[in-house]
């Protein structure tokens, strides 16, 4: 009778796999139903469902030809038509994406993370492409740059919004704009202005959020910081080392303020977890003498590497005056989460593997890829929750 147990185990495993596949498909069908109203024609609604499934499929690349092959089509024209010719509302789908993320991941401790990523491109035809700094490459490259708004809470993280950065050379070139389908109302906007527009949409939609964070591009933007302060929205934003603040009646470079601090002024705190455990750094902060709304305060915050004390990072922070340093450090560490999210979105749902050149098509692909990425993150959350519940049930039975 010793051979019976493995057969029973195999049958149990197969049944579990069938349930997982059925649950995956049911969840994807429900997600498709959420956005169905954004597509007027049944054919387009059906195709976008297939497109989402193909983005989630384990394809080597999510380009037009491989997507078409996954969909059982002879060529990429149908996929291209969905992105470039069909009539549907990408901004409406963006709103559905935000609602989906908030429904599953929303929490009072939520942090909105502003960040950008580059999409390396050849040639000069793709909308917004230019020789510009790309964080993806770590240097100036021929690329497009997208500014993104991500959401992170104790429950998980996903993207809420996106904007294509249009360099000045594009914004003022009528011929290139027309060829790439840039809408007439789109004008040059800094990355900070793009971030402000996305943040405003999130606030208007009442996304549950406690803090906003971002890198130096956004922290050095005084207009963006002041706008957040007017909205009474707490933030922790990185700034450059030569950023100046008022101190002792004059403006001082932020790096010089901490140059001679004694060792006792620094405190070691974790800024979230990394692959090797807690990310430990030394931290110091000081309140700035700026007039703020009642009950609010501003600070300078500095992070120092434990392994290399010369490696420093600087932040401006704004929030309730009773905020502890530990809370500010936690928010500063949240920004790294979006880097992992970019990696997942590019590696798992082909965020960067599009083959489109026009404005509308870029927004359509990116929006659907972010929706597919959000589905993966929500599915991971539910799987982890179920696993934890199963372990708890096993312990209770024993």
Handedness of CA 116, 121, 126, 128 (dihedral sign): positive
How far apart, in whole angstroms, are the C-alpha atoms of residue 398 and residue 394?
6
The CATH number given to 90-380 is: 3.90.350.10
List, for residues 273-323, the tens digit of each pLDDT value.
776 778 999 999 999 999 999 999 999 999 999 999 999 999 999 999 999
Query: 224, 231, 197: which is closest to 91 by C-alpha?
Result: 197
Query: How many residues does the structure list for the chain?
Result: 398
- Residue holding tokens 């790294």? 336
How far apart, in whole angstroms, are the C-alpha atoms of residue 66 and residue 60?
8
Query: 256, 375, 228, 238: which is closest to 316 by C-alpha?
Result: 238
Per-residue pLDDT, 8: 47
- Contact between 101 and 160 under an 8 Å Cβ cutoff? The reply is yes
* pLDDT averaged over every residue in the chain: 90
User: Which tokens is 76 given?
Assistant: 């990429």
Q: What is the DSSP string of 247-281?
A: ETTEEEEHHHHTTT--GGG-EEEEEEEETTEEEEE
- Consecutive H or E run containing 224: helix 222-230
pTM as predicted = 0.91
Which class for 145: exposed (0-12), middle (13-18), buried (19 or more C-beta within 10 A)?
buried
Please tell me whether residue 318 adopts helix, strand or coil conformation. Answer: strand
- Contact between 207 and 110 under an 8 Å Cβ cutoff? The reply is yes
Per-residue pLDDT band for 1 (boundaries 50, 70, 90) equals: very low
The total of other beta-carbon atoms located within 10 Å of residue 267's CB is 13
Per-residue pLDDT, 21: 64
The total of other beta-carbon atoms located within 10 Å of residue 381's CB is 16
List, for residues 328-347, the tens digit of each pLDDT value.
999 999 988 889 999 999 99
How far apart, in whole angstroms, are the C-alpha atoms of residue 214 and residue 115?
6
Query: 89, 61, 87, 91: which is closest to 76 by C-alpha?
Result: 61
Handedness of CA 292, 296, 297, 303 (dihedral sign): negative
User: Which tokens is 363 given?
Assistant: 């927004």
- Contact between 98 and 161 under an 8 Å Cβ cutoff? The reply is yes
How far apart, in whole angstroms, are the C-alpha atoms of residue 92 and residue 84?
17
Radius of gyration of the chain (CA): 24
Query: 150, 53, 30: which is closest to 101 by C-alpha?
Result: 150
Residue with the larger pLDDT of the pair 70 and 148: 148
How far apart, in whole angstroms, are the C-alpha atoms of residue 28 and residue 116?
28
Residues of the chain with CATH 3.90.350.10: 90-380
List, for residues 153-166, the tens digit of each pLDDT value.
999 999 999 999 99
Q: What is the mean pLDDT of residues 133-151?
A: 91
How far apart, in whole angstroms, are the C-alpha atoms of residue 351 and residue 376?
13
Query: 41, 86, 36, 170: which is closest to 365 by C-alpha?
Result: 86
Which of these ranges, 17-31, 116-130, 221-235, 338-352, has the smallest mean pLDDT?
17-31
Specify whether the backbone of 156 is left (phi greater than 0), alpha (psi in -120 to 50) or beta.
Answer: left
| 19: Cα within 13 Å, side-chain hemisphere | 7
How far apart, in whole angstroms, are the C-alpha atoms of residue 80 and residue 78?
5
List, for residues 33-47, the tens digit of each pLDDT value.
999 999 989 999 999
């Amino acid at each position: 009778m010793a051979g019976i147990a493995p057969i029973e185990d195999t049958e149990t495993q197969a049944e579990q796999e069938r349930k997982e596949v059925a649950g995956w498909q049911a969840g994807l069908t429900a997600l498709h139903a959420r956005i169905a109203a954004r597509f007027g024609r049944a054919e387009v609604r059906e195709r976008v469902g297939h497109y989402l499934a193909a983005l989630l499929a384990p394809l080597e690349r999510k380009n037009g030809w491989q997507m078409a092959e996954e969909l059982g089509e002879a060529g990429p024209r149908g996929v291209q038509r969905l992105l470039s010719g069909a009539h549907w509302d990408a901004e409406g789908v963006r709103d559905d994406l935000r609602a989906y993320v908030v429904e599953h991941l929303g929490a009072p401790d939520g942090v909105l993370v502003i960040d950008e990523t580059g999409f390396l491109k050849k040639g000069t035809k793709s909308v917004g492409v230019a020789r510009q700094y790309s964080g993806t490459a770590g240097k100036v490259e021929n690329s497009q740059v997208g500014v993104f708004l991500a959401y992170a809470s104790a429950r998980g993280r996903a993207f809420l919004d996106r904007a294509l950065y249009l360099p000045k050379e594009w914004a003022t070139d009528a011929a290139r704009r027309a060829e790439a389908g840039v809408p007439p109302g789109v004008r040059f906007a800094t990355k900070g202005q793009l971030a402000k527009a996305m943040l405003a949409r999130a606030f208007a939609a009442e996304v549950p959020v406690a803090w906003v964070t971002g890198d130096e591009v956004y922290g050095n933007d005084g207009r963006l910081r002041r706008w957040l302060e007017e909205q009474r929205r707490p933030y922790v934003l990185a700034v450059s080392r030569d950023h100046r603040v008022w101190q002792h009646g004059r403006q001082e470079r932020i790096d010089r303020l901490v140059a001679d601090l004694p060792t006792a002024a620094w405190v070691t705190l974790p800024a979230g977890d990394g692959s090797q455990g807690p990310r430990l750094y030394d931290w110091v902060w000081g309140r700035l003498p700026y007039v703020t709304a009642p009950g609010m305060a501003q600070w300078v915050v500095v992070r120092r590497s434990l392994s290399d004390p010369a490696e420093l990072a600087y932040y401006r922070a704004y929030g309730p005056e009773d905020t502890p340093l530990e809370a500010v450090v936690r928010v500063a560490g949240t920004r790294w989460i979006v880097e992992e999210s970019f990696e997942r979105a590019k590696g798992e749902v082909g965020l960067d593997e599009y083959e489109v050149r026009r404005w509308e098509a870029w927004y359509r692909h990116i929006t659907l890829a972010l929706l597919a990425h959000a589905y993966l993150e929500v599915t991971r959350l539910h799987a982890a929750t179920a696993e934890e519940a199963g372990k708890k049930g096993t312990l209770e039975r024993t």
